[in-house]
Amino acid sequence: MKFATEYLWFSTGRPREYINVTKEVARIVHNSGIQEGMVLVSAMHITAGVYVNDAESGIIQDIDEWADRVAPKGPDYHHHRTGEDNGDAHLKSLLIHHQVVVPITGGDLDLGPWQQIYYAEFDGQRRKRVVVKAMGE
Amino acid sequence: MKFATEYLWFSTGRPREYINVTKEVARIVHNSGIQEGMVLVSAMHITAGVYVNDAESGIIQDIDEWADRVAPKGPDYHHHRTGEDNGDAHLKSLLIHHQVVVPITGGDLDLGPWQQIYYAEFDGQRRKRVVVKAMGE
Amino acid sequence: MKFATEYLWFSTGRPREYINVTKEVARIVHNSGIQEGMVLVSAMHITAGVYVNDAESGIIQDIDEWADRVAPKGPDYHHHRTGEDNGDAHLKSLLIHHQVVVPITGGDLDLGPWQQIYYAEFDGQRRKRVVVKAMGE
């Protein structure tokens, strides 16, 4: 059995940002030598997400606006009694989900033609990370 | 270590449709001979979902109406500048999530009594697929 | 290859409740002797969720209110024709998602500093369970 574990670090310029990490995840899988298995890509923060969708700039803007409509910034969340102001980012993380599992087949990510893996930052401008863990044979 | 990888194809008659794939996934697991492990069921398209819930027709209708309330068809999504008209289907895919992992215990899907695995088509009437990947021993 | 499978039982006092299961999941992983791998934590019911987020009481209240705003209790869901009254709990389960996968690295849960694993009960006051399945080496 083979394993590979790497951490991707991010420090976005904007509070919310969407970063395509597909190539990084593919590189980790290729370096692992795993031919068959699965790779988990999981945010290590509670105000960020990881999702699979399209690398088209319009849909990325739609995702951003939609997440902010369903889980709006600003309202007086109970969480803000702690001095934080990022209650919305916690809810956006739940909405988008914080992780995906990608199958590895024949040594490669087994994704559909338009599927790309994205890191979704909902409370950025600080150092944050994603764990990528591959396992298989 | 054992692996099994199969692709399920769909071509729905309606734009949105919900298809119970539990038996297909169980068949793949049984054929693999895996006694202990996990099976990933993951849509390979960015306008479809895979979820676990009830096989009751009323709740399926509720899920459909709810997804369309939270991520409505029609509004002028930025994504539509590309000529597409399926922005809502991308957001519904994120809302419902595009994959589930089912534990395999004693050679069978380890699901609760009412849990069924569904493929959720949000932009149908074309050929689309789901990857089913089991791994274990 | 090593496996560990355990079931956590819950019977909440209130209809909706959020229970931190991180220590239980860590105990199962430690007992398994698995050093590298993944652990799946998955609700076995269609009216419950499992998520990773903060153990702060304000945000837990925010999550509860938000889930009830996006998938409100009460409306006359089609599912209620069966005699049930928990249509909202099915939708909340889909919104929050019913499972997470946690990487195991060096024999421990590989979580970020604020990440805690929660069982989210959306239709409680009855016996329900979660499957915890670890696999690795």
Angle at B115 between CA B110 and CA B117, to 5 degrees: 90
Residues of A in Cβ contact (< 8 Å) with C91: none
Can you give the pLDDT at residue A74?
87
- pLDDT beneath 50, residues of chain A: none
Residues of A in Cβ contact (< 8 Å) with C41: none
Can you give the pLDDT at residue C11?
97
Can you give the pLDDT at residue A122?
98
- Report the residue from C56, C115, C136 with minimal CB separation from A135: C136
CB contact under 8 A, C135 and B59: no
Tell me which residue of C78, C110, C122, B127 sits closest to A135, measured CA to CA. C110
CB contact under 8 A, B103 and C40: yes
Q: Would strands B116-121 and B48-53 be described as parallel, antiparallel, or unpaired?
A: antiparallel
Under the banding of pLDDT at 50, 70 and 90, the label for residue C74 is confident
CB under 8 Å, gap of 24 or more: what pairs does A86-91 form? A86/A47, A86/A122, A86/A123, A87/C58, A87/C59, A87/C62, A88/A122, A89/A47, A89/A48, A89/A122, A89/A123, A90/A46, A90/A47, A90/C53, A90/C54, A90/C59, A90/C62, A90/C63, A91/C62, A91/C63, A91/C66
Average pLDDT over residues C24-35: 98
Can you give the pLDDT at residue C52?
98
Summarize pLDDT for B87-126 with one digit per residue, the tens: 999 999 999 999 999 999 999 999 999 999 999 999 999 9
Can you give the pLDDT at residue B102?
98
Of the residues B46, B47, B50, the best mutation for testing chain A's interface (the one with the most A CB atoms within 10 Å of its CB) is B46
Percent of chain C residues topping a pLDDT of 90 = 99
In chain B (137 residues long), the average pLDDT of successive 10-residue segments reads: 98 98 98 98 98 98 98 94 96 98 98 98 97 98
Q: For the whole prediction, is pTM greater than 0.90?
A: yes
How far is the C-alpha of B65 from the C-alpha of C90, rounded, in Å?
13
CB of B55 within 8 Å of any CB in chain C? no
Residues of A in Cβ contact (< 8 Å) with C64: none
How far is the C-alpha of A24 from the C-alpha of A8, rounded, in Å?
8
Of the residues C2, C3, C104, the best mutation for testing chain B's interface (the one with the most B CB atoms within 10 Å of its CB) is C3
Q: Please tell me whether residue A18 adopts helix, strand or coil conformation.
A: strand
- Report the residue from B1, B45, B82 with minimal CB separation from A58: B82
Is residue C117 a contact partner of residue A58, using CB atoms and an 8 Å limit?
no
Can you give the pLDDT at residue B84?
95
Residues of A in Cβ contact (< 8 Å) with C62: 77-79, 87, 90-91
Tell me B81's DSSP state: G
Q: Please tell me whether residue A124 adopts helix, strand or coil conformation.
A: coil
Can you give the pLDDT at residue C100?
98
- 3-class DSSP string for chain C: CEEEEEEEEECCCCCCEEEECHHHHHHHHHHHCCCCEEEEEEECCCCEEEEEECCCHHHHHHHHHHHHHHCCCCCCCHHHHHCCCCHHHHHHHHHHCCEEEEEEECCEECCCCCCEEEEEECCCCCCEEEEEEEEEC
Which string of DSSP letters, residue by residue, matches A57-123?
A: HHHHHHHHHHHHHHS-SSS--GGGGGT---HHHHHHHHHH-SEEEEEEETTEE---TT-EEEEEESS
Instruction: Give ipTM to 2 decimals.
Output: 0.97
